[in-house]
Structures are given as C-alpha cells and as structure tokens.
Amino acid sequence: MTGYLLSENSNGFGNLEPWEWKILEAIGQVIDFWGFKRNHGKIWGLLFLRNTPMKATEIQQALGLSKGAVSMILRELEGWDVIRRVRIPSSNQWCFVAETNIPQMVKKVMEERESTLVSRVLEDINSGKKEALTHNVDKEVIHRIEKLEKLANTIARLLQICLQNPFWEEEDFEETLLPLLETFVTQILSRLGGKGPSPKKPK
C-alpha cells in the first residue's frame, strides 16, 4: 500500500505539538493529491483543529511560514469559502476561522472546478469529433471517439446528480454518498466494458 511521506523533522515545525504536526501533514498530503497546495490544507487544518480565531501572524508562527505565503494562501482559501475572517472584541486585527461544514466545502470545489473541467472536456471531444468527420477519419477511430464522448457524458450526468443530491446538507452524508459513489463507479466501468460492484440504493 502506498502512503504519504512525513517530514524528517519528527519534532514538528513552527510551534505545533507533534500530534498537530502529524495531522496537518496528513491533511496537507490529501489536499496536495487533490490538486491544491499542501499549505492550503495545513492552514485550514490548523484553524479547524484549534477551533479559535487566529491572526495571520499566529498562523505564520504556528506553521513556520512566511508572511507573504500566509497572506496569499488565506486569500485563496477565502475565495474557496473554506475559511472566513472575523473580528474579535479584544483586537482590531482580522482573525480567521475554518469552515467546518466539510460536505459543503467539497461540493463547492466540485461545482467550480470538476464541473468546469468536465464541461471543457466534453466541448473539446465534441469539437475534435466534428473535425475528424470533416477529414474523413476512419470509422473505427470515430467509434472510439464516440466511446470517449459517451463516457464524458456519463461522468457529466453523474456529477450533476451528485451535486443536486440533498445529502450535502446532512451531517451523516456518507450514508447516502457511498451508495451514490458505488453507482457512479458501476456505470463508469460499464461504459468501459468492465464490471463493477452491484450498486446499493441510498437510504
């Protein structure tokens, strides 16, 4: 099984406790795999774990990051609505807190990034198919393009169904998410000619 690599600094970094460091490393690895910067995950994770408003300078000290890096990442995280800024009575400076509704966070990213990507893929495949037809490309090649087109359409439809599902509003959303994902995988594999698990109906 392939895992992620921890930093060689077993004492952590910044002024984090060792257990905090390990958890933030894990979050950072997942976020990095999802296409964001590792420090995006670490800053959100820090605010999520500490569960208290933190100033940018406090985040810098905790994670050992530069002022510029923290400032840039905070702006980007605000843009994704995964953190928000607040003022506390004892300070005139802005502080930051983490959004804790994880399902809604995932949904927003899927709406703004994955949906856009799938739409672009469909447009490019359709455009390429039209050009191929005008150049009298072999029918077998056209057939293969159409298989890709069907697959992309399936992904687009399932993504739309997924985003419209009310489980995003539920705390126990995994009870409905997992059956939906099983259906998703089964249909994708069927498009590719493989066999997937028998889908379960959402409760």
pLDDT of residue 8: 38
Residues 120-179: tens digit of each pLDDT:
999 999 999 999 999 989 999 999 999 999 989 988 888 887 787 766 665 666 666 667
* Residue-level pLDDT at 174: 64
pLDDT at residue 188 is higher than 70: no
Burial string for 62-96 (b: 16+ CB within 10 Å, else e) reads bbebeeeebeebbebbeebebbeeeeeeeeeeebb
Q: How does residue 9 score in pLDDT terms, banded at 50, 70 and 90?
A: very low
Q: What is the pLDDT of residue 96?
A: 97
Predicted pLDDT of residue 48: 95
Read off the pLDDT of each residue in 91-108 and give the average, rounded to a whole number.
87
- Confidence class for position 182, pLDDT limits 50, 70, 90: confident
| 173-187 mean pLDDT | 68
Alpha helices in the chain (DSSP H): 18-33, 38-50, 56-63, 67-79, 102-109, 115-134, 139-164, 174-192
**pLDDT at residue number 201:** 52
Instruction: Dump pLDDT digits (tens) for 43-99.
Output: 999 999 999 999 999 999 999 999 999 999 999 999 999 999 999 887 788 999 999
